[in-house]
Chain A
Amino acid sequence: MHIAEGVLSGPVLAAGFAITGVGVGIGLKKIDFEHIAETGMMAAAFFVASLVHVPVGPANVHLILNGLVGLLLGWAAFPAIATALLLQAVFFQFGGFTSLGVNTAIMALPAVACHYLFAPLINKSPKVSAGAAFACGFTAVMFGASLLGGALFLSDENFLEVASIAVSAHIPVMIIEGFITLFCIGFLKKVRPEMLQGKENRP
């Protein structure tokens, strides 16, 4: 899901930086002292997740974990994901510096959206909660893939072709991320329920 340097047009890159700038600003304002460690932990998880390859089909896909990050962090997902992507660009040469804004927006916008959609359901009955967790992991990747297709389209590529490839290539990841989010939320509920409490009040 990382777009390389030199693929996108100037206006798309600029729009990406603008969205990311606003998102990071809001996110930084929302992080209070108690949530610094949590944000850092999720950034670290996101940073490493990209190295976990999903060996399905001909496509070249990897874990993203933006659903889980968004569910737990809300707007703070923006600074967490931006930091992790910057470090991935520096250390792994994934993505690029000029496309950092777009890449952050592609992965963090769905994270925040999924927070608003699914966080209120996490503390409901076990069945609802499990369904919401799965849907959160699934939807975040699907949104991200659609945004990726959109960014490529705006930079002069055939949208239908690009978007359908982007989304279909990520279907295995959507399912796997759904299960991972489901498992993580279930685990946190048992082990650290306080991490999930009040999520709906803290977007």
Chain B
Amino acid sequence: MNKRLFLLLLLFFAWGFINCPPAKAHRVNVFAWVEGNTIYTTSKFSGGRVAQKSLIEVYDSQKNLLLSGHTDNAGAFSFPIPKIDDLEIVLQAGNGHRGTWQIKKIELAKAQEDQSGDPSEPKRASSKPKPTPTTLIEKSRPQNRPKISGQSPETTAELERIIEETISRTLDRKLHPLMTMIAETRNPEPGFREILGGLGYILGLIGVAAYVHSRRKSQ
């Protein structure tokens, strides 16, 4: 009789283990990264199901709400950098589900510097590769054509900037799928170690309780 009960419990725990890799539960994760002048976020429940149509709020270091929006069907939401500050991205997925992600000021400042060399101009280049501002090209072209070798320092600086911009844009484009992949794999799941650890604690507590009771009995 006891054996059957034991078997049932064993089956139950085994069921739990088998179910655990795709198990979906009550934790949401939001992951955000900066590309150019855009912040991308992706939101997921633990287990991999995306958090669709969930509210995302962005706060600055003084806890002021900067912007909010909803995730799309793939759990993604992106927005231009609203402010160079320590940003907190909060995901509210309903029913008490909440996840947060921090983006440091230094990261934003750097990203923007890389992008435009001018941190005070947040909305210029965005996620999609736009053509270089025509003024820049016009400025550099006529000076470049006639003398390729002996350029003036001004033109060299300009050229360098254009090259840098082009490279960083191309990099952004190439890195986007990679960042998405990292975002997808960033989803810590409870595994055997955590489950066995928890069960071990419970067993230990049973032991402690039984010990205390038996001591009390014998006294």
Residue ranges of A at the interface with B (Cβ–Cβ < 8 Å): 1-8, 31-33, 36-37, 39-41, 43-45, 47-53, 55, 58-60, 62, 83-84, 87-88, 90-95, 99, 148, 151-152, 162, 165-166, 169, 187-188, 191-192
Residues of A within 8 A of B95 (CB): 1, 59, 148, 152, 162, 165-166, 169
Identify which of B15, B46, B205 gathers the most chain A CB atoms within 10 Å of its CB: B205
Residues of A within 8 A of B176 (CB): none
A48: contacting residue among B2, B12, B46, B214, CB under 8 A: B12
A84 to B16, CA, bound (A): 15
What interface size band does chain B fall in?
35 or more
Residues of A within 8 A of B2 (CB): 192
Question: Taking CB as reference atom, which chain B residue is nearest A84?
Answer: B202
B198:A60 contact, CB within 8 angstroms: no
Residue ranges of B at the interface with A (Cβ–Cβ < 8 Å): 1-2, 4-5, 8-9, 12-13, 15-16, 19-20, 22-28, 45-47, 49, 52, 92-100, 188, 190, 194-195, 197-199, 201-203, 205-206, 209-210, 213-214, 217
Identify which of B9, B16, B46, B49 gathers the most chain A CB atoms within 10 Å of its CB: B16
CB distance from B91 to the nearest CB of A (A): 10
Question: 25 pairs across A/B with beta carbons < 8 Å?
Answer: A6-B98, A7-B92, A31-B209, A36-B213, A39-B209, A40-B205, A41-B9, A43-B205, A44-B203, A45-B12, A48-B16, A48-B195, A51-B195, A52-B23, A53-B47, A60-B93, A87-B198, A91-B198, A92-B198, A94-B25, A94-B26, A148-B96, A162-B94, A187-B8, A191-B8
A43 to B155, CA, bound (A): 73
Identify which of A39, A58, A84, A87 gathers the most chain B CB atoms within 10 Å of its CB: A87
B5:A192 contact, CB within 8 angstroms: yes
A58 to B49, CA, bound (A): 9
B96:A3 contact, CB within 8 angstroms: yes
Question: Taking CB as reference atom, which chain B residue is nearest A52?
Answer: B19
Residues of B within 8 A of A52 (CB): 15-16, 19, 23
Identify which of B46, B188, B201 gathers the most chain A CB atoms within 10 Å of its CB: B201
